[in-house]
């Protein structure tokens, strides 16, 4: 046999080498995936909800006998209108499908443009598919003189959910 007849096995991958290479590749891939998961766990992707307590202005910002829409917080400020003493904060989220009812001054009521729910000045449902009245939010006067609203505290009939001014 001459040197030319001898096969060079060093460049050919044997079955054993093939499984060894892919075995190590699998192990290292698993470790890299686990390390990536551990690093991602340390830096969570959290969605923070806005605070349920917020200030909306001073009582003097809301004239007597008016209903004012506060768009940023999706609420109505009702001041001294039709038997409502002081200031009352009422949600502007329709209890039917979450649309924003519009205040109709001429009729003295809220009308929801989406499905036709109608609410009176106290938030009670007088027509339409809404299952519940518009809730009142608890409101107090903060130390700086502004109205502090707690939208996590909702009620439909409590008189202490209004500010006497």
pLDDT band at 32 (very low <50, low <70, confident <90, very high): very high
Q: Which residue has the tokens 């829409």?
A: 69
d(CA 146, CA 40): 42
Q: What confidence score (pLDDT) does residue 101 get?
A: 94
d(CA 41, CA 61): 47
**pTM of the full structure:** 0.66
Domain segments of the chain as ranges: 13-42, 53-163
- Closest by CA position to 92, among listed 162, 158, 154, 159: 154
Q: What confidence score (pLDDT) does residue 9 get?
A: 57
Phi, psi of 106 (to 5 degrees): -60, -35
DSSP character string of the chain:
--TTTS--GGGSPPHHHHHHHHHHHHHHHHHHHHHHHHHHHHS----PPPPSEEE---GGGS-TTEEEEEGGGTEEEEES-TT--SEEEEE-S-TTTS--PEEETTTTEEE-TTT--EE-TTS-EEESS-SSPPPEEEEEE-TTSSEEEEEEEEESS-GGGEE--
Bridge partners for 111 per DSSP: 102, 118
pLDDT band at 46 (very low <50, low <70, confident <90, very high): confident
* Per-residue pLDDT tens digits for 104-125: 999 999 999 999 999 998 889 9
**CATH code of the domain occupying 53-163:** 2.102.10.10
């Amino acid at each position: 046999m001459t040197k030319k007849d001898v096969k060079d096995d060093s460049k050919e991958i044997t079955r054993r080498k093939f499984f060894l290479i892919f075995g190590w590749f699998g192990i290292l891939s698993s470790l890299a995936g686990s390390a990536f998961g551990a690093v991602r766990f340390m830096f969570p992707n959290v969605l923070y909800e806005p605070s349920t307590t917020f200030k909306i202005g001073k009582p003097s910002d809301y004239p007597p006998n008016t209903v004012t829409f506060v768009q940023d917080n999706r609420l109505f400020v009702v001041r001294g209108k039709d038997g409502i003493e002081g200031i009352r904060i009422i949600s502007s989220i329709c209890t039917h499908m979450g649309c924003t009812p519009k205040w109709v001054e001429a009729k003295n009521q809220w009308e929801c443009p989406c499905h036709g729910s109608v609410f009176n000045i106290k938030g009670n449902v007088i027509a339409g598919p809404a299952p519940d009245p518009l809730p009142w939010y608890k409101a107090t006067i903060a130390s700086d003189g502004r109205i502090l609203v707690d939208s996590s505290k909702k009620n439909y009939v409590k008189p202490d959910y209004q500010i006497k001014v």
